[in-house]
Structure 1
Amino acid sequence: MYSYTEFDHAFLAERNAQFRGQVERRIDGSLTEDEFKPLRLMNGLYLQLHAYMLRVAIPYGTLNSRQMEKLADISERWDKGYGHFTTRQNIQYNWPQLRDVPDMLDALAEVNLHAIQTSGNTIRNVTADHFAGAAADEVADPRPVAELIRQWSTDHPEFQFLPRKFKVAVTGDTADRAVIKAHDIGLRIVKRGEEIGYEVIVGGGLGRTPMIGKVLYEFVSQEDLLPTLEAIVSVYNLLGRRDNKYKARIKITVHENGIEDIRQRVNERYALIRPQFTGVDQQMLARIEADFAAPEFKSADQTPYLNAYDQDPLFRSWADTNLTAHRNPEYAIVSISLKAHGKTPGDATGRQMRLMAGLAKRYGHDELRISHEQNVILPHVHRGDLPSVYYALKAEGLGTANIGLISDIIACPGMDYCALATARSIPIAQEIATRFDELKLEHDVGPLKIKISGCINACGHHHVGHIGILGLDRAGVENYQITLGGDGTEDATIGERAGPGFSADEIIPAVERLVLAYLDLRNDPAETFLQTYRRLGLAPFKAALYPQVAGKESRANAA
């Protein structure tokens, strides 16, 4: 992973010292909350419903054991003993005291972590495929270029006050595990002959106006990538709307002007700025790439894995759901579920974080990843070590065998924490997971992605859930809309709204009816929920959701 230079350390120390002074001025009353707000947002500090919240960047989701241990220490020293991993591969602390935040930032800096640009109208934490550097079908590791983009965008003088927040994601695989088509800029590493380049997608995003990004360029060379990105963001900075924050994202800019017009403007801006890029960025990239060299994989006996798989049905179930093929056939990618049935999706205690750090150090070449699906990944584990990893995880409540299943739910913090939320998300996720655990159906149901947002801002990615749930306020009462058929992969699709919403008491039975209908409708157990939905369309699922309406229509047709 990337190693900080003397410049990086000095930069962080200066930023943290500056913010410490601003916090002191807020506490002594020299700064009002309105004056303090833009300063705290530049350092990842929000004011939530009940307390401040510090959002820490985990660039492209990569951590080592020392960093994870520090996150655990911070949760126990300055918060309530846990952290919340988010859909942008960040971690949030929901209960810090304002006076403690500068000390938290200094503690983060000790292990090369920070909270810069995790908020505000700037380029946010750059995200990437959580299997980067390990996936069997990867074209190239996307993390070096993600780190280059992070360095380019951090404190970029032109891009600190964009029309709206700006999100970039990178994948190095044909299988999109980074949801690049729902980002302001999505990059896919591609090959043209032997040359590595990038497909550039712009104008994706969710929220109140969900849109799938459009291909701006099918191939941009490695040397041209950074000036191309600079040109795109420059055009958006000038053209993007500032009169209405709900129409300020680049997706609206692309929609209102058209992709051809945007491409022409970007080409013109690129021609002006390209001479300024003299190859220094490529020298930086070469140095960065050296930090991401593959670990020295070992060759060892796989018998412990084979024995555990044959003899322990719980281990076998976990291996079948939570392991992914590694590019080295002796290894596996381990997905650690932070979605134990009935628990808050994405939460990990300090004790659990410390355990995962220890497992990474002992068995995982000192690497961990945070996924946008709010789970933790050990990307490089030898198959012979998998039983030891599993039993250690199981002892701390981290051995749930549900990756990709119905209880592996993405959920935003909702009205339990967020000042913008209009409904609760966490209790709904907990109740769905608990209910299907009671029914013992989730392994029979198979791959099914439920995503829940507590407001129209869609931090829970509900638009691209196979089943999406959006919580809204209807005259002071929580109301939950369902969308169906969404997809956040390379075949990205915005889900279709099924019909009227459901109350908090009705939403769990409604989801149960949907899933039971799918089990009746599928051709065979190999046909997934999404495949069945795409084959049959909305009608049979809508009938299951609203049986009273379907019954009335049936009687009317019969009459």
Structure 2
Amino acid sequence: MYQYTDFDREFVQLRAAQHRDQLERYLAGQLAEDEFKPLRLQNGWYVQRFAPMLRVAVPYGELNSDQIRVLARIAREFDHKEAHDLGAADAGLSDLSTLPDRCAHFTTRQNVQYNWIPLARSADVMDLLASVNLHGIQTSGNCIRNVTSDALAGVAVDEVADPRPYAEIIRQWSTLHPEFAFLPRKFKIAITGATDDRAATPWHDVGLRLVRNVDGDLGFQVRVGGGMGRTPIVGRVIRDFLPWQEILNYLEAVVRVYNRFGRRDNMYKARIKILVKAEGQTFIDEVEAEFADIQAHDGGQHTLSDAELARVSAGFAAPDLTCDRKSADDKIAHVLKAAAEDDIEFGRWLQRNVTAHRNPDLRAVTLSFKRLGQAPGDATAEQLERAAELADRFSAGEVRVTHEQNLVLPWVRCDALPELWREARRLGLARPNIGLMSDIIACPGGDFCSLANARSLPIAQALLERYLDLDELDDIGQIDLHISGCMNSCGHHHSGHIGVLGVDKDGQEWYQVTLGGSDGSRQSGQAVPGKVIGPSFAAGEMPDVIEAILSTYRDQRETGEAFVETVRRVGLEPFKDATNAVRSDTARVAA
């Protein structure tokens, strides 16, 4: 992984010291609330329904074991419900005794969040984060946010080029960029280097994809104007091929045009997706004109050189983990034989949680954080500590946070797979459900978020409880089920094969269901938002609604056909009929 320079380390430490000074002045009454608010937000400190929420930046999802241990320590020592005078606040919405604490939460943008840290202790937390080169800079505010990427970056077999050096270069360029500190709205960039888009790039303000042209030159396909929220829009390709050397100059042109013309009169229409949709070709022409001006008058000051790319790329050198045993094929054959003799669940784990690697001696392994009794993406302090141990023993001290709210060990030797499986199973992190329906994406929802209309976590738990049988999950097959508590779509419900959106109806929690969405990966097909299948459903109906959808799929599917393929072939009507029957049955029982 990339190693911070002395400048990087000093920068993060000085930012932590600055936050401590601001906090002390706020607590002493020298800074008013409206003065302190923008300062804390610049370091990732929100105030949510019951307590502050901290968002920690994890650039392109990479963490080392020392960083994971610090995240575990913060969860154990600082993330406590008992530190807050909760009283009866919103008691009608949340049963506070059931809400998790002493844990970290992995987000869909590869960051880490905490929900219970007292603001008075925030400076101590920032110092701890800085000690391992972590921070919350630009995880909030109308600026360029944390750059995300493929969790398999640098190890994927379908990779055209490793996107991590470019992601790091973009991080350095965008951090506290003085021209882009107060954009019309937040701005999110995702980058992939693979043919299979596992970074959901079409759904970002800017989506970058490394490609080669007909001459074999490396460059980027550039999409602009993607986003979810109230108006889900898939990003538009505005450059089929941009030489990699020009990526910062071109990004500067895109953000300058957005900064100049983006709406500031209405926050709901301020994202770049609205500007791109409204202006169409005019927006592209403005970007190209700005790009030409940067090259002509600024001298293309951000043009990347081979030397600069090599300098940053050196920080991503692969660890030397070549096995000293037979060929990879022989090793895997041995492992599969052991699976058949040992435990059928091991074979399932190899199929679902173990991924091919560009180095044939290695594999990438996903640790599942989707389990009954635990919110999707939550990791307790103990689980984080054990994950750090697994990273040290099996993955050269490195993990990746995934878009699906799990962790990946990217450097596992093939001959270590049986031992890793036994250890991960003992810790409850080896459930072989990656890509299956119980691998749910969910935001914290109304249990924590003051913006949410409804709770996400009880729905996720009800579905995890309903679908425990691995044989049934395997039969259902690949399904992306995403749950959001409001239209901000932090749970990415728009891109779910099944999307669930919490809505408010006269103060009650209801849920709207969409079908057929896609994040743009190979398994899901072209990125599209899901379509609503009818009026919303009550919380108590949701498990039966999902079961009706899945039963319809099993009745309608053709041999070998995945769920999303069936939805696109037969249309929504059979699913509407099935879910309307659930609503009718509920009404009859109520009557």
TM-score scaled to structure 2, two decimals?
A: 0.91
Size of the alignment, in residue pairs?
A: 549
Give, as a single letter, the amino acid of the residue that structure 1 aligns with 2:338. Answer: A
1:530 aligns with 2:564: yes
Is contact 2:160–2:193 with CA below 8 Å preserved after alignment?
yes
Is contact 1:305–1:385 with CA below 8 Å preserved after alignment?
no
Name which of 237, 255, 258 aligns with 1:215.
237
In 2, distance between residues paired with 1:475 and 1:34? 32
Q: 1:517 to 1:280 in 2, by over 3 A?
A: closer
Q: How does 1:113-262 map to 2 (within 5 A)?
A: 113-192=134-213, 193-258=215-280, 260-262=281-283
Is contact 1:304–1:385 with CA below 8 Å preserved after alignment?
no
Deviations 1:277-309 (A, max 9, x none): 346743433211111112223124437623431
In 1, distance between residues paired with 2:148 and 2:12? 21
Further displaced range: 232-241 or 527-536: 527-536
Secondary structure at the aligned position of 1:228 is classed as helix
Is contact 2:19–2:123 with CA below 8 Å preserved after alignment?
yes
Deviations 1:381-419 (A, max 9, x none): 112111111111111111111000011000000011001
In the TM superposition, structure 1's runs of 4+ consecutive aligned residues that sit over 4 Å from their partners are 548-551
Deviations 1:99-118 (A, max 9, x none): 21111111111111111000
Q: 1:484 to 1:76 in 2, by over 3 A?
A: same
Q: Which residue of 2 aligns with 1:310?
A: 340
In 1, distance between residues paired with 2:465 and 2:277? 41
RMSD over aligned CA atoms reads 1.6
Q: Which residue of 2 aligns with 1:474?
A: 505
Unaligned runs of 5+ residues in structure 2 are 81-101, 326-330, 586-591
Secondary structure at the aligned position of 1:43 is classed as coil
Q: Which residue of 2 aligns with 1:19?
A: 19
Q: How much has 1:66 moved relative to structure 2?
A: 1.2
1:500 aligns with 2:522: no
In 1, distance between residues paired with 2:123 and 2:582? 57
Secondary structure at the aligned position of 1:332 is classed as strand
Secondary structure at the aligned position of 2:510 is classed as strand
Deviations 1:245-304 (A, max 9, x none): 00000000001111x111110111112222343467434332111111122231244376
Q: How much has 1:518 moved relative to structure 2?
A: 0.6
1:298 aligns with 2:335: no
In 1, distance between residues paired with 2:459 and 2:357? 34
Unaligned runs of 5+ residues in structure 1 are 552-559
Q: Which residue of 1 aligns with 2:546?
A: 511
1:545 aligns with 2:571: no
Q: How much has 1:522 moved relative to structure 2?
A: 0.7
Q: Which residue of 2 aligns with 1:436?
A: 467
1:427 aligns with 2:448: no
Q: How much has 1:438 moved relative to structure 2?
A: 5.5
Q: Which residue of 2 aligns with 1:557?
A: none
TM-score scaled to structure 1, two decimals?
A: 0.96
Give, as a single letter, the amino acid of the residue that structure 1 aligns with 2:182. Answer: F
Q: How much has 1:362 moved relative to structure 2?
A: 1.4
In 2, distance between residues paired with 1:319 and 1:397? 16
Give, as a single letter, the amino acid of the residue that structure 2 aligns with 1:70. Answer: V
1:97 aligns with 2:110: no
Give, as a single letter, the amino acid of the residue that structure 1 aligns with 2:553. Answer: Y
In 2, distance between residues paired with 1:90 and 1:530? 28
Name which of 484, 487, 496 aligns with 1:453.
484
Give, as a single letter, the amino acid of the residue that structure 2 aligns with 1:92. Answer: Q
Q: How does 1:278-293 map to 2 (within 5 A)?
A: 278=301, 281-282=304-305, 283-293=307-317
Is contact 1:199–1:219 with CA below 8 Å preserved after alignment?
yes
In 2, distance between residues paired with 1:21 and 1:242? 31
Q: Which residue of 2 aligns with 1:4?
A: 4
In 2, distance between residues paired with 1:243 and 1:477? 31
In 2, distance between residues paired with 1:150 and 1:439? 40
Deviations 1:368-388 (A, max 9, x none): 100011000011211211111
Is contact 1:183–1:204 with CA below 8 Å preserved after alignment?
yes
Q: Which residue of 1 aligns with 2:350?
A: 319
Is contact 1:341–1:407 with CA below 8 Å preserved after alignment?
no
Q: How much has 1:9 moved relative to structure 2?
A: 1.6
In 2, distance between residues paired with 1:114 and 1:338? 23
Q: How much has 1:318 moved relative to structure 2?
A: 1.3
Q: How much has 1:3 moved relative to structure 2?
A: 1.2
Give, as a single letter, the amino acid of the residue that structure 1 aligns with 2:108. Answer: T
Give, as a single letter, the amino acid of the residue that structure 2 aligns with 1:158. Answer: E
Q: How does 1:23-34 map to 2 (within 5 A)?
A: 23-34=23-34
Q: Which residue of 1 aligns with 2:300?
A: 277
In 1, distance between residues paired with 2:165 and 2:40? 29
Q: How much has 1:321 moved relative to structure 2?
A: 1.0
Q: 1:143 to 1:333 in 2, by over 3 A?
A: same
Q: How much has 1:329 moved relative to structure 2?
A: 2.3
Is contact 2:246–2:303 with CA below 8 Å preserved after alignment?
no
Q: How much has 1:457 moved relative to structure 2?
A: 0.5
In 2, distance between residues paired with 1:395 and 1:304? 22
Is contact 1:543–1:549 with CA below 8 Å preserved after alignment?
no
Q: Which residue of 2 aligns with 1:556?
A: none
Q: How much has 1:548 moved relative to structure 2?
A: 7.3
In 1, distance between residues paired with 2:301 and 2:36? 39
Give, as a single letter, the amino acid of the residue that structure 2 aligns with 1:466. Answer: H
In 2, distance between residues paired with 1:103 and 1:429? 33
In 2, distance between residues paired with 1:299 and 1:317? 24
Give, as a single letter, the amino acid of the residue that structure 2 aligns with 1:293. Answer: A
Q: Sequence identity, in percent?
A: 51
In 2, distance between residues paired with 1:44 and 1:167? 15
Q: Which residue of 2 aligns with 1:521?
A: 556
Deviations 1:154-213 (A, max 9, x none): 000011100000000000011110000000000000011321100000000000000000
